[in-house]
Amino acid sequence: MSSERLIYLALGGAGEIGMNTYVYGWGAPGKERLILADVGVTFPDMDSSPGVDIIFADIEWLAERADRIEGIFITHAHEDHVGAVGHLWDRLKAPVYARAFTGHHARRKIEEYGHDPETVNIVAPWPEQIEVGPFKVGFAPISHSIPESSALIIDTPGGRIVHTGDFKLDATPIVGEPFDEAFWADIGKGGVHALVCDSTNVFSPKPGRSEATVGPEIVKLVENAPGMVVATTFASNVARVKTLAEAGEAAGRSICLLGRAMRRMIEASVLTGVVTDFPKTISPEEAEDIPRQNLMLLVTGSQGERRAASAALSRGKYLGLELAEGDTFLFSSKTIPGNEKGVIRVMNALSEKGVDVVDDGTDIYHVSGHANRPDLDRMHKLIDPKMVVPMHGEHRHLREHAKLAETNGAASVVAVNGSMVDLTGDAPKIVEYIEAGRTYLDGSVQIGALDGIVRNRLRMAMNGHVIVSVIMEDDELVGEPWVDLMGLPETGSSNAPLQDVLEEDLSQLIGRASRTTRADDDDLEDDIRKAVRKSADDEIGKKPEVTVVISRLA
The residue ranges that bind a copy of itself (CB under 8 A) are: 15, 45-47, 50-51, 203, 337-338, 340-341, 344, 347-348, 350-352, 354, 357, 361, 394-396, 399, 442-445, 447, 451, 453-454, 456-458, 460-465, 467, 469, 471, 478-479, 482, 484, 486-489, 491-493, 537, 540-542, 545, 547, 549, 551, 553-554
The nearer residue to a copy of itself, 133 or 487, going by C-beta atoms, is 487
DSSP three-state, residue 284: helix
Give dist(CA 468, CA 237) in Å, integer: 53
Closest distance to a copy of itself from the beta carbon of 520 (Å): 18
Q: What is the DSSP letter of 13?
A: S
DSSP three-state, residue 255: strand
CB atoms within 10 A of CB 499: 16
Closest distance to a copy of itself from the beta carbon of 511 (Å): 18
Residues in the chain: 554
The nearer residue to a copy of itself, 128 or 537, going by C-beta atoms, is 537
Closest distance to a copy of itself from the beta carbon of 533 (Å): 12
> Per-residue DSSP letters for 528-552?
HHHHHHHHHHHHHS---EEEEEEEE
Closest distance to a copy of itself from the beta carbon of 174 (Å): 28
The nearer residue to a copy of itself, 431 or 471, going by C-beta atoms, is 471
CB 386 within 8 A of CB 193: yes
First to last CA, the chain: 72
E strand or H helix at 7: strand 5-12
Cβ neighbourhood burial of 511 (10 Å; 0-12, 13-18, 19+): exposed
Closest distance to a copy of itself from the beta carbon of 464 (Å): 6
Give dist(CA 442, CA 421) in Å, integer: 32
The nearer residue to a copy of itself, 14 or 34, going by C-beta atoms, is 14
The nearer residue to a copy of itself, 86 or 464, going by C-beta atoms, is 464
Closest distance to a copy of itself from the beta carbon of 456 (Å): 4
The nearer residue to a copy of itself, 245 or 502, going by C-beta atoms, is 502
Q: Measuring CA to CA, how many Å separate 231 from each of 283, 320, 358, 409?
A: 16, 17, 9, 44
The nearer residue to a copy of itself, 18 or 147, going by C-beta atoms, is 18
Q: What is the DSSP letter of 233?
A: -
Closest distance to a copy of itself from the beta carbon of 137 (Å): 31
Give dist(CA 314, CA 310) in Å, integer: 6
By C-alpha distance, which of 369, 359, 361, 421 is closest to 390? 421
The nearer residue to a copy of itself, 119 or 491, going by C-beta atoms, is 491
The nearer residue to a copy of itself, 181 or 474, going by C-beta atoms, is 474
Closest distance to a copy of itself from the beta carbon of 457 (Å): 4
Closest distance to a copy of itself from the beta carbon of 471 (Å): 6
Q: Measuring CA to CA, how many Å separate 261 from each of 286, 302, 309?
A: 20, 12, 10
Residues contacting 530, CB < 8 A, separation 6+:
none
> Per-residue DSSP letters for 270-281?
HHTTS-S-PPPE
Give dist(CA 528, CA 502) in Å, integer: 10
Closest distance to a copy of itself from the beta carbon of 341 (Å): 5
Q: Is the peptide bond before 127 cis (omega within 30 degrees of 0)?
A: yes
The nearer residue to a copy of itself, 190 or 479, going by C-beta atoms, is 479
β-bridge pairing 387-391 and 194-198? parallel
Closest distance to a copy of itself from the beta carbon of 338 (Å): 5
DSSP three-state, residue 389: strand
| Helix, strand, coil fractions of the chain, as percent rounded to 5 | 35, 25, 40
The nearer residue to a copy of itself, 80 or 442, going by C-beta atoms, is 442
Closest distance to a copy of itself from the beta carbon of 447 (Å): 5
The nearer residue to a copy of itself, 97 or 329, going by C-beta atoms, is 329
By C-alpha distance, which of 19, 3, 11, 8 is closest to 135? 8
Q: What is the DSSP letter of 210?
A: P
